[in-house]
Structure 1
Amino acid sequence: MAARDYGQYSGITRAMELVGERWALLIVRDLLVGPRRYGELGAGLPRIPSNILAARLKELQAAGIIRRAPRSRVIVYELTPYGRELEPVVLALGAWGFKALDEPREEQIITPDSMTMDLRTAFRPLVAAGLPATAYAARFGVAELLIRVEGGELDVSRGDGEADLAFAAGPDIRRLISGQLAPERAISTGVVEVLRGRGELLTRFASTFHIAA
């Protein structure tokens, strides 16, 4: 498995040996969004060296966390049922880490898969269940996502589409999600740019996706 051996016999120790190596959990995070080809994983983690990506994939396969599968004449990597059990762990870790976010550095980017998982982390199904079905077309830097919320269910896919509200935002979207910035203020200060639709629906978005800082 992974090269690291902590010399302790416990569940947490074993978990760290399996997914505690650098980049491993980020690979799992992206595969929680959906199966990915090798090149897609590399594109989603632009700073990972190719030899490290290959090593992590091999280790995660050996641990039974991911597997290679043929899809339309190409090979993709996907999570096994055992690997998908990591989803609540990843979401909880994301919520915990969200509280420690500070101002983004210039070189930091938002990827479609990272933002998808951040939205899953911040999603409040009980709140959403009491709101009308709403579709948002959101552009976070180069990441374009179509976010559909209906009856307490969340669906996020890549690309644009018909939406009740289309908006663009950068990393400062965290200030809206954390409640540090009111929706009206987010629009007036340019943190969120309304592209089409009713801007007041940003209040519904902020109610649906929220993590207290």
Structure 2
Amino acid sequence: MDIKNLYGQFCPVSMASEVICTRWTPLVMRELLCGSIRFNDIRRGVPRMSPTLLSKRLKELELAGVLRTVPSARGTQEYHLTPAGEELRPLIIGIGNWGQRWIESRLSLRNLDPSLLMWDIRRNFDPDPRPERRCTIQFLYPELPEAMRDWWLVVDRDGTDLCRVDPGFDVDILITADLRAMTSVWMGMNRLVDEIETGAIRIDAPPGLERQVKEWMKLSVFAPQQRMVD
């Protein structure tokens, strides 16, 4: 930890802030608390953070006793929260709840990020029961540059994968959306049915699959919070 950034006070608020309030650290904690344990998975939740800085923050959290590294069966390294790290859950969730309630929607939707949005959608995607056969869902954001325009969720009985490159399977469901509209639905600011009615989101699928994908797509964990500002 950079000694220049230390507060130098004995107050527990000061000492805790030195651990968890450095740049990007609350977002790294969000990813760990959401269940990401591999470096690349954590990176997908903070796509604008450099790998070097992420490595540094993870090492700082390990030195602070917030997480521990565990060798995986693949020979790589996993990051697991310690009891001290798990105890930060209500604090990180509380920050998110406050932001959902009190940050204006125009500010919340100012920094749209398809990478983070799709990673969040994939993480909370909940087919129940899971389909008997593989189901491929393509998300198309026409207004984005070509490199960020297409995303695929591949759902089978073993899990849900997010693909940036066409996986080569027949598409069962095509969701064409305005990025702002999809983000607004994900954050609980607008309803999916309303965005479909305006044409900002379109779902092309057989009726049975269309009904299912609407049920499978859960909202952000912060969406239930009552907004206090528009």
* TM-score by shorter chain over 0.5: yes
3-state secondary structure, aligned to 1:64: coil
Partner in structure 2 of residue 86 of structure 1: 88
Partner in structure 2 of residue 187 of structure 1: 196
Tell me how far apart the structure 1 counterparts of residues 30 and 122 of structure 2 sit (CA, whole Å).
10
Contact 2:117 2:183 in 1 (8 A): no
3-state secondary structure, aligned to 2:116: coil
3-state secondary structure, aligned to 1:110: helix
Is 2:211 the counterpart of 1:198? yes
Partner in structure 1 of residue 116 of structure 2: 110
Write the mapping of 1:133-212 to structure 2, written as runs, cut at 5 A: 142=151, 144=153, 158-159=160-161, 168=175, 170-176=179-185, 180-194=189-203, 195=205, 196-198=209-211, 209-212=223-226
Partner in structure 1 of residue 40 of structure 2: 39
User: 1:23 deviation in Å?
Assistant: 1.2
Name the amino acid aligned to 1:19.
I
Q: Note the alpha carbon deviations across 1:84-137, whole angstroms, 9 max, x for none.
A: 1111211111122224242334666425554578x6xxxxxxxxxxxxx888x9
Q: Note the alpha carbon deviations across 1:113-170, whole angstroms, 9 max, x for none.
A: 54578x6xxxxxxxxxxxxx888x9877748497xxxxxxxxxx7438xxxxx78464
Which protein has the bigger strand share? 1
Give 5+ residue unaligned stretches, structure 1: 120-132, 147-156, 161-165
What's the TM-score, normalizing by structure 1? 0.64
Tell me how far apart the structure 1 counterparts of residues 122 and 94 of structure 2 sit (CA, whole Å).
15
* Cα RMSD after superposing both structures: 3.9
The structure with the larger Rg is: 2
What's the TM-score, normalizing by structure 2? 0.60
- Cα–Cα, structure 1 residues 105 and 44, in superposed 2: closer, same or farther, change >3 Å? closer
Contact 1:37 1:75 in 2 (8 A): yes
Contact 1:42 1:48 in 2 (8 A): yes
3-state secondary structure, aligned to 1:212: coil
User: 1:17 deviation in Å?
Assistant: 0.6
User: 1:68 deviation in Å?
Assistant: 0.5
Partner in structure 1 of residue 63 of structure 2: 62
Partner in structure 2 of residue 6 of structure 1: 7
3-state secondary structure, aligned to 2:194: helix
Give 5+ residue unaligned stretches, structure 2: 140-149, 163-172
- Cα–Cα, structure 1 residues 116 and 211, in superposed 2: closer, same or farther, change >3 Å? farther
Name the amino acid aligned to 1:211.
Q
- Cα–Cα, structure 1 residues 185 and 178, in superposed 2: closer, same or farther, change >3 Å? same
